[in-house]
């Protein structure tokens, strides 16, 4: 029987040091792009891909995330009293009623691989998705994960979202070597975490979208610390692909690296220019700013 992806992990326990002091007491994933926090974009993408169990790996200073996906009695009562029904609906419908949110604390930020392994008991023996909310991907349709789920339906194996990057930037990513299967799909032969440009097997970088089989948990359990002294998901994937096929998928859409200040600013400007309420005024403002 064909397997389906029903659960997604959102690792949100990182320290977000590139955004200090903004992330001293509040999570990076709650930074808004225009009027929605990054984590909400990621959850909406997962809902669009048919996922109904959202597993958040949280840490200290992350309480705003469960609060965001919970009922907000005070605000809701106040909006209802003031007759602000449209805004009330927005606040009440952050996640559809059929979606379950699960929160797991990662006591120490030991790395992305460790964060994923914290979800083992909740995921069980099923394939699952991992979304990193600081990679915001806009494909103008249902989202990058929907594209990946469609491919998983046919191939039934692990699949990583990849993008061609500037070869000078390989040290910021997991980099794969893949043998081409179709235009956008390849079978991964090698994956390396943050290689120097001269040692990188290609310029195909893994970005924050993964579909993984549960075999990854056995690999993570046996892993010792890798690059940066962290338990790296990339190292577990390197072991996984010795046993099972792992595919690289070059998704359609634009990715914004909202974990970096520049990427965050670019996302804010570009999404502002698409926002139905703001786009005209904001565009005029930007034009004027450039002329001056």
163 Cβ neighbours under 8 A, 6+ residues apart: 204, 205, 207, 250, 251, 255
DSSP 167-183: GGGGGGSEEEEEEESSS
Minimum distance of ligand UTP from residue 274's CB (angstroms): 24
Residue of this chain nearest to ligand UTP (CB atom): 14
SS3 label, residue 1: coil
Minimum distance of ligand UTP from residue 285's CB (angstroms): 30
Minimum distance of ligand UTP from residue 12's CB (angstroms): 5
Q: Which residues pair with 187 in a beta bridge?
A: 179, 247
For 120-138, b/e burial (b = at least 16 CB within 10 A) is eeebeeebbbbbbbbbbbb
Minimum distance of ligand UTP from residue 107's CB (angstroms): 10
Which residue, 111 or 272, is less far from ligand UTP as judged by CB? 111
Which residue, 58 or 147, is less far from ligand UTP as judged by CB? 58
Minimum distance of ligand UTP from residue 224's CB (angstroms): 15
The tokens describing 157, both together, are 């194996």
Which residue, 17 or 77, is less far from ligand UTP as judged by CB? 17
From the list 36, 72, 2, the residue with the least C-alpha distance to 272 is 36
Binding stretches for ligand UTP (CB under 6 A): 11-18, 28, 57, 106, 109-112, 114-115, 132, 134, 259
Go through the chain and tell me how many residues it has.
292
Which residue, 24 or 71, is less far from ligand UTP as judged by CB? 24
Which residue, 117 or 157, is less far from ligand UTP as judged by CB? 117
The tokens describing 19, both together, are 């955004």
């Amino acid at each position: 029987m064909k397997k389906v992806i029903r659960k997604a992990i959102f690792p949100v326990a990182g320290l977000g040091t590139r955004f200090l002091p903004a992330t001293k007491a509040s999570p990076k994933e709650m930074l808004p792009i225009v009027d929605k926090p990054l984590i909400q974009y990621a959850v909406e993408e997962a809902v669009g891909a048919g996922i109904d169990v959202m597993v958040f790996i949280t840490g200290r200073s992350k309480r705003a995330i469960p609060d965001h996906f919970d009922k907000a009695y005070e605000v809701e009562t106040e909006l209802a009293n003031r007759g602000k029904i449209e805004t009330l609906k927005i606040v009440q419908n952050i996640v559809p009623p059929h979606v379950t949110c699960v929160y797991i604390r990662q006591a120490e930020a030991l790395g992305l691989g460790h964060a994923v392994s914290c979800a083992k008991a909740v995921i069980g023996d099923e394939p699952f998705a991992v979304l990193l909310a600081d990679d915001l991907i806009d494909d103008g349709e249902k989202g990058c994960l929907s594209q990946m789920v469609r491919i998983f339906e046919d191939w039934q194996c692990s699949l990583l979202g990849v993008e061609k990057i500037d070869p000078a930037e390989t040290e910021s990513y997991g980099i794969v070597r893949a043998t081409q299967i179709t235009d956008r799909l390849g079978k991964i032969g090698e994956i390396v975490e943050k290689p120097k440009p001269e040692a990188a097997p290609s310029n195909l970088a893994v970005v924050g979208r993964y579909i993984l089989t549960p075999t990854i948990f056995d690999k993570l359990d046996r892993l010792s610390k890798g690059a940066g002294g962290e338990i790296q998901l990339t190292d577990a994937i390197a072991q996984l692909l010795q046993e099972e096929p792992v595919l690289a998928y070059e998704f359609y859409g634009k990715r914004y690296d909202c974990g970096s200040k520049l990427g965050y600013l670019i996302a804010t400007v570009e999404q502002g220019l698409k926002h139905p309420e703001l786009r005209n005024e904001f565009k005029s403002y930007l034009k004027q700013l450039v002329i001056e």
